[in-house]
Amino acid sequence: MTTFLQTLVNSIGLGSLYALTALGYTLVYGVLRFINFAHSDVFTVGAWASFTLASAFGWAATGSPWFAMPLVLLLAMAVCAALGIAIEFLAYRPLRKAPRLNVLITAIGVSLFLQNVGQLKWVFGTQPQPMPPLLEDSSLAEVAGVQIRVIDVVVVVLTVFLLMLLEFLIYRTRLGRAMRAVSFDEKVASLMGINVNRIITLTFGIGSALAAAGGLFYALKYTGLKQPADATWVLLGLKAFVAAVVGGIGNVRGAVAGALLIAFVEMFGAQYLSPHMRDLYVFVILIAVLMFKPSGLFGKAVVEKV
């Protein structure tokens, strides 16, 4: 029973990380109808920028003040938002009228570019680094034998907060209405007076900022940062992408549900079946969803407009 509950708690922690990243895929797909394969690298930059910032402030050795984490979070989100906006402007905007395949291939190119630039010695370098502990890594409480760690609570609370903020933005504000309108029909949206390019810029900014939060939380949880081009990052990005597809790509709530599902399957599979095949379970879920409900668990089958 304790093992079961512990696995459950761990899954929720992991699921929130996936959710933050999955949202970037789903938001961009919503407005541009293509998979931004460079998004996992934005997540990596989020983790590494957090490391660089935390180290630069000298918090690595000394132990950090209370505002260290929020400050690093905000700065990393700003860095990644700027990066995402720059990627869209430089790489994708010139291809707005090109076939979708060209954009997809460009995204893979951007991904490789970021991985290689990240390894330059004046950027992040090729060596793994230990993330400075911005949060006390201790047990907050023990409930029925289950360890609830400070970091897990902080990560889940902040994730829920960011998701609620996003939900409010999308469903309750003028900007959110414009985003949904653009996602449905760009041309008609422009007839309403919406500057479609500005909405796309904002969407990239928001998605990338959420990925930065995911990157920081990941670095805080798994403190040994692999070098920027390591396969771990690509795999993490892929899992977040699977989460977005499983939940129904383009669907914001679906991305969160998909992320939790993926995390549950991964953690419970690792605990009760075999820890060596944890990545396999995730992709089995993907195949199953694509076979039986290709539009995703929360996606609506696309009906041709008459």
Partner 1 sequence: MALLEVSGLDVHYGGIHALKGVTFSVEQGQVVTLIGANGAGKTTTLRAISGLVKPSKGSVTFKGRTITGMPAHQIVALGLAHAPEGRGIFANLTVDENLQMGAYLRRDPAGVAKDTRHALELFPRIAERLHQNAGTLSGGEQQMLAIARALVAKPTLLLLDEPSLGLAPQIVQLIFKIVRSIAAEGTTILLVEQNAHQALNVAHTAHVLEVGTLVTSGPAAELARDDKIRKAYLGVH
Residue 97 or 121 with smaller CB distance to partner 1: 97
Distance (Å) of CA 96 to CA 93, 109, 114: 5, 17, 21
Which residue bears the tokens 């291809």?
Answer: 95
- Of 88-96, 139-147, 174-182, 201-209, the window that binds partner 1 (rule: CB under 8 A) is 174-182
Closer to partner 1 by Cβ: residue 3 or 195: 195
Question: Of 114, 94, 116, 113, which is closest to residue 103 (Cα–Cα)?
Answer: 94
- Count residues near partner 1 (CB under 8 A): 20
SS3 293: coil
161 or 184: CB nearest partner 1 = 184
Tokens of 304: 């041709």
Q: Does residue 305 touch partner 1 according to CB under 8 A?
A: yes
Query: How far, in Å, CA of 255 to CA of 298, rounded?
Result: 9
CB 235 to partner 1: min, Å: 33
Contact call for residue 98 and partner 1 (CB under 8 A): no
Measured distance CA(224)–CA(165) in Å, rounded: 30
Phi-psi category of 40—alpha, beta or left, where left has phi over 0 and alpha has psi -120 to 50?
alpha
Q: Scanning residues 187 to 216, which ones bind partner 1 (CB under 8 A)? A: 187-196
Residue 79 or 182: the one with the smaller Cβ distance to partner 1 is 182
Residue with Cβ nearer partner 1 (100 or 172)? 172
Structure tokens at 12: 């929720």
Q: Binding segment for partner 1 among 8-16, 69-77, 144-152, 186-194 (CB under 8 A)?
A: 186-194
CB within 8 Å of 290: residues ≥ 6 apart: 245
Instruction: Name the minimum Å distance from CB 183 to partner 1.
Output: 7
Chosen residue from 16, 40, 183, 227 binding partner 1 by CB under 8 A: 183
Judged by beta carbon, residue 191 or residue 231, the one nearer partner 1 is 191
- Is 180 an interacting residue with respect to partner 1 (CB under 8 A)? yes
- The answer to the question of residue 181 lying near partner 1 (CB under 8 A) is yes
What's the CA angle centered on 115, arms 114 and 119, to 5 degrees?
Answer: 110
**Token pair for 190:** 């422009």
Alpha-carbon Rg for the chain, nearest whole angstrom, is 19
Binding site for partner 1 (CB under 8 A): 174, 177-178, 180-181, 183-185, 187-196, 305-306
